[in-house]
């Protein structure tokens, strides 16, 4: 168990790293000359992703040369079962960014013994700096934040997303999206999972679910939601595992109902890879 002083130190360095990445994203904003596809159609890579990651990594590695890293563009650096593992997304919301849709962030999370324990999400466009560490609470721009008090799923505003493999699988989240849109006040698709989680943490949204995510999308946001009084689990309300790609994160109150709906929804016909 880390002391709160040590956690505070990790949090400050995570913030320094996220701010450094954010400055790069601001510098490249609206000036991209080339947008590549990484593999799957729609999975984009820009010079901003790479330059932001360089800055984030340089801060983390300068302060913690012995810590392991899992970063979206650089992959695994160091032993992934290490006590300290930084999970970094230098630009969450690349598609938004490439289209100059201003909803993107830098996400810097620290897993301690495999558990997300420190999280910083920085949205440079709106200048929102979300920070949290286990036992230290969650803040936005230094002001304490809390999850919403919505208790009825029918009055909730939710958010979700669709992974890049969505046209290759019938597990594409379309049925869940339609069903929840039908029975709530709305389901947003922000396009940046780290901000989706930060917005659940600060009460702008009541719940978030998604499949096909990577640890760097979720590590920081999970800490934000938990420290803001929310709940993070698997879809079935069982323990959250950051390596499954699936997450259900809510204000806690709509959690059982949302979990139930996700488990009972029937697939939507017509969108399986074979058209069935
Ligand atoms: C993506 C975003 C998006 C989510 C995708 C992620 P990227 O991350 O978080 O909201 O739906 O599954 O891959 O590629 O913009 O870093
Ligand atoms: Ca991401
Ligand atoms: Ca990314």
pLDDT at position 12: 98
Is residue 73 within 6 Å of ligand 1 at its C-beta?
A: no
Q: In the chain, where do the E strands start and end?
A: 35-37, 44-46, 68-71, 75-77, 84-92, 105-112, 115-123, 128-133, 137-140, 143-144, 157-160, 186-189, 207-210, 231-233, 247-250
Instruction: Supply the residue whose CA is at minimum distance from atom 12 of ligand 1.
Output: 163
Average the pLDDT over 105-130 and give the result.
98
Is residue 221 within 6 Å of ligand 1 at its C-beta?
A: no
Q: Is the pTM of this model over 0.75?
A: yes
Is residue 163 within 6 Å of ligand 1 at its C-beta?
A: yes
Average the pLDDT over 47-54 and give the result.
95
Lowest average pLDDT, out of 40-49, 100-109, 113-122, 172-181, goes to 40-49
Contact 122, 195 (CB under 8 A): no
Domains along the chain? 4-144 (3.30.540.10), 153-264 (3.40.190.80)
pLDDT at position 1: 64
Is residue 98 within 6 Å of ligand 1 at its C-beta?
A: no
């Amino acid at each position: 168990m880390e002391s709160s002083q040590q956690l505070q130190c990790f949090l400050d360095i995570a913030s320094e790293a996220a701010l450094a990445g954010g400055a790069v994203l601001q510098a490249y904003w609206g000036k991209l000359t080339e947008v590549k596809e990484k593999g799957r159609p729609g999975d984009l890579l820009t010079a901003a992703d790479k330059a932001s990651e360089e800055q984030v990594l340089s801060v983390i590695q300068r302060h913690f040369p012995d810590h392991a890293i899992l970063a979206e563009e650089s992959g695994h650096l160091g032993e992934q079962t290490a006590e300290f593992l930084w999970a970094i997304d230098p630009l969450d919301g690349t598609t938004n960014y490439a289209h100059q849709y201003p909803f993107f962030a830098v996400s810097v999370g620290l897993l301690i013994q495999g558990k997300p324990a420190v999280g910083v999400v920085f949205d440079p466009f709106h200048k929102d700096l979300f920070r949290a560490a286990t036992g230290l609470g969650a803040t936005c721009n230094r002001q304490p934040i809390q999850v919403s008090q919505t208790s009825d799923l029918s009055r909730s505003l939710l958010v979700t997303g669709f992974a890049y493999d969505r046209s290759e699988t019938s597990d594409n989240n379309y049925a869940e999206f339609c069903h929840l849109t039908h029975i709530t006040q709305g389901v947003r698709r922000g396009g940046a999972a780290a901000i989706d989680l930060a917005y659940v943490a600060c009460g702008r949204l009541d719940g978030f679910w998604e499949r096909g995510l990577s640890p760097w999308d979720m590590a920081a946001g999970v800490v934000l939601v938990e420290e803001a009084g929310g709940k993070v689990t698997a879809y079935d309300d069982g323990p959250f595992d950051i390596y499954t790609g699936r997450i259900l994160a809510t204000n806690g109150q709509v959690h059982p109902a949302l979990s139930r709906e996700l488990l009972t929804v029937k697939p939507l016909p017509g969108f399986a890879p074979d058209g069935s």
